Amino acid sequence: MTSEQKPEVRINDFAFKLANVNGTGSASANGLLMQAIFRMGIPVSGKNLFPSNIQGLPTWYEVRVNKLGRTARTSEYDLMVMMNAETYAADIREVRSGGYILYDSTWPLNKALEREGVHFIGVPLARMCAETFADPRERTLMKNIIYVGVLAALLHIDMDVVKGMLEEKFKKKPALMQSNQKAIWLGYDYAIKNLEHPLPFRLEKMDATKDCILIDGNTATALGAVYAGATVAGWYPITPSTSVLDAFKVFCERYRVDKETGKKKFCIIQAEDELGAVGMVIGAGWAGARAFTSTSGPGISLMSELVGLAYYAEIPAVIVDVQRVGPSTGMPTRTQQGDIMMCAYNSHGDTKHICLYPANPEECFAFSVKSFDLAERFQTPVFMLTDLDIGMNDWVVPRFKWDDNYKPDRGRVLTREEIEALPVYYRYSPADELGVAARTLPGTHPKGAFFTRGSGHNKLGGYTEVPAQYMEVVDRLAEKHRASRDHVPAPIIEKRPGSTFGVLTVGGCDLACREALALLEEQGYKGDFCRVRGFPFNEEVETFLEEHSQVIVVEQNRDAQLRALLVLETRCPKEKLQSILAYGGFPLQASQVVDGVRAKVRLNKKEG
């Protein structure tokens, strides 16, 4: 099947999807593809759409290449690489009209699967493998590498780059190196000899990623915790946050082991559950360490009890929530922003928390550090909310930088000498202009001892059941939370002259929203952009809301949680706020925002 017209050539602007079986080694092959494109200097993103399973179920990997850096997820696939017969039917349906389908032609494709208007490319991958490799495991693994070779020919992936990557990867494993090299050239040569190449959409070297790295958000978060000086981590394994602690451990082992003694300057405790994990963080924070935990929604549900204790007793704690799809177990390997409300008001009684919302790994690194500063400055739990897409997928972001002049903000902690000089010490008095009172660390000085309690206490820290004394303390906590609004990261605001509406969003919706606004502008819809990065909302957010008569809030949950939080916590009348909600579990696409805005915004070209 070939289409009638000669298709236009598109350089560095396309998307392809790889349909695999999980546990077959496809992940490393797909990572290789993405990394090669990144090293060619081209903006690229990879989205791993994987099942909650170890081996045998369908899994997909999507790659989007875009010279303008528009790398939000797209489901407009120009090419489908079908490596899983079980999902052939659905995969064929998903390719855009005029697109290409690469399949393993060792076995003929069922006639019933044929589709008009798309190009089928058969490569006998299994047969090539069987003829080349003897070991059954190798036959499975190398099939993936062969299709990388085929794609290199079809998409113009630089083979020198690929070769270099394989050499780095298998430096210490010459046998593996040999089979990988063999497989990749096998695929490449086959394509050159037998297939029409390159495809009309293809790659060309650019210079857009020179100062960038390819990193996932969880690694970045962990690195931030190391740089912030976190020494204690309590955690419980949970998808999609586990790799935060995995990475923290790797970095600590690298940077925090005393060369002479072999002793470790960190303590990671795998807890019995998330309640235990956050309990450890709170205990460590109380004792004076920078401590954190990382979890996902179900873990936050468990932690809620002790989060209230840390809030009320004013103990610093950093809690990273790599959000996944809820409610309940939900879809553990899918992404969502469903914990916005739960984190903002986590725990029973009147509680409000500082929340940070990074949008990408670069911000994960920076906000991770910031979280510790805020937790100690305000003596309170701080939530950093990322999501599965940010946390587990590789992103192209600018190289992280570190300022060696950074001093951790430990907040108000009295030294031995300061305590000595006091006539008497009270834990919760006097408070400063932020509503924060000085704390002492256990063991510092006899005069600094105090009794920490989650039960009713007065401003001196003593037990109370007296209404006025109780209220005085919780009112100060509310003030303290309000005061933190000028200390959380400010929103990112991008304005367009003549705009008629605003799009307000959060976290991982960033790229899709900005791409959508650019596309909408071409269609005559001019909108401003605001991405909130912290809660409580500061004056800049209020101003953005005031400046626009129509604000469309884009977020990835069913219940418009960010919108609800804005309604509750800003002066904005709720009628002004409309929602675009994407909550199926895959990362947001620009097309979803474009369609949503077009349905809500009245086009007035004269004004525009």
Partner 1 sequence: MSYIRKPAVRHPSLQPNKLGLTVRDYEGAMSTLCAGCGHDSITAAIIRTFYEMDIPPHRVAKLSGIGCSSKTPTYFISGAHGFNSAHGRMAAIASGANAANRDLCYIGVSGDGDSLSIGLGHLCHAIRRNLHMLYIIENNGVYGLTKGQFSASTDIGSKSKKGEVNTMPPIDPVLVAISQGASFVARGFSGDKEQLVPLLKTGLHHKGFALVDVISPCVTFNDHEGSTKSYVHTRKHALPLLESDFVPMAEEITISYPEGEARTVRLHDGSTVRFRKVAKDYDPTDRKAVLAYLEEQQLSGEIPTGLLFIDEEAVEMHEEAKTVDGPLTDVPFSDLCPGSAALEKLMSAYR
Alpha carbon distance 535, 573 (integer Å): 18
Helix (H) or strand (E) holding 61: strand 58-66
Q: Which is nearer to partner 1, 347 or 538 (CB)?
A: 347
Tell the residue number behind the tokens 């063991």, with chain if given: 443
The count of other CB atoms within 10 Å of the CB of residue 58 is 18
Q: Least CB distance from residue 192 to partner 1, whole Å?
A: 28
Report the distance separating Cα 531 and Cα 541, nearest Å: 9
CB 385 within 8 Å of CB 357: yes
Shortest reach from residue 10's CB to partner 1, in Å: 26
Instruction: Tell the smallest beta-carbon distance from residue 374 to partner 1 (Å).
Output: 17
Compute φ and ψ for 292, nearest 5 degrees: -150, 165
Between 410 and 495, whose beta carbon lies closer to partner 1?
410
Q: How far is the CB of 30 from partner 1 (least distance, A)?
A: 17
169 vs 496, which CB is nearer to partner 1? 169
366-371, long-range: CB < 8 A, 24+ apart: 366/224, 366/489, 367/224, 367/489, 367/533, 368/220, 368/221, 368/222, 368/223, 368/224, 368/225, 368/228, 368/318, 368/320, 369/224, 369/227, 369/228, 369/406, 370/489, 371/224, 371/228, 371/292, 371/318, 371/320
To partner 1, the closest distance from the beta carbon of 300 in angstroms equals 16
Please report how close the Cβ of residue 155 comes to partner 1 at its closest, in angstroms: 20
Q: Which is nearer to partner 1, 438 or 582 (CB)?
A: 438
Query: Which residues make Cβ contacts (< 8 Å) with residue 236, sequence separation at least 6?
Result: 270, 271, 272, 273, 274, 276, 277, 295, 299
Cβ contacts of residue 444 below 8 Å, gap of 6+? 414, 415, 416, 419
Name the residue nearer to partner 1 (CB basis): 258 or 522: 258
Give the whole-angstrom CA distance, residue 361 versus residue 109.
41
Instruction: State the nearest-atom distance from the C-beta of 295 to partner 1, in Å.
Output: 14
Based on CB atoms, which residue is closest to partner 1, 439 or 514?
A: 439
107 versus 463: smaller Cβ distance to partner 1? 463
Q: How far is the CB of 288 from partner 1 (least distance, A)?
A: 4
**Between 168 and 575, CB nearer to partner 1:** 168
Q: Looking at beta carbons only, is 194 or 429 nearer to partner 1?
A: 429
**Distance from the Cα of residue 541 to its chain's centroid:** 22
Secondary structure of 249-307 in HEC code, one letter for each residue: HHHHHHHCECCCCCCECCEEEECCCHHHHHHHHHHHHHHCCCEEEEECHHHHHHHHHHH
User: Tokens representing 508?
Assistant: 């991982």
Q: How far is the CB of 407 from partner 1 (least distance, A)?
A: 8
Report the nearest approach of partner 1 to the CB of residue 420 (Å): 12
Beta carbons of 378 and 480 less than 8 angstroms apart: yes
DSSP state for residue 463 in the 8-state scheme? B
CB of 404 to partner 1, least distance (A): 5
Q: Is 260 or 522 the residue whose CB approaches partner 1 more closely?
A: 260
DSSP secondary structure, 197-215, as one string: -S-SEE----SSSTTEEEE
Q: Among residues 238 and 281, whose Cβ is nearest to partner 1?
A: 281
Measured distance CA(311)–CA(328) in Å, rounded: 25
The contacts of residue 395 (CB under 8 Å, 6+ apart) are 45, 214, 215, 216, 217, 360, 361
Structure tokens at 14: 């396309």
- CA-wise closest residue to 340 among 140, 535, 592, 158: 535
Q: Closer to partner 1 at the Cβ: 279 or 508? A: 279
CB of 401 to partner 1, least distance (A): 7
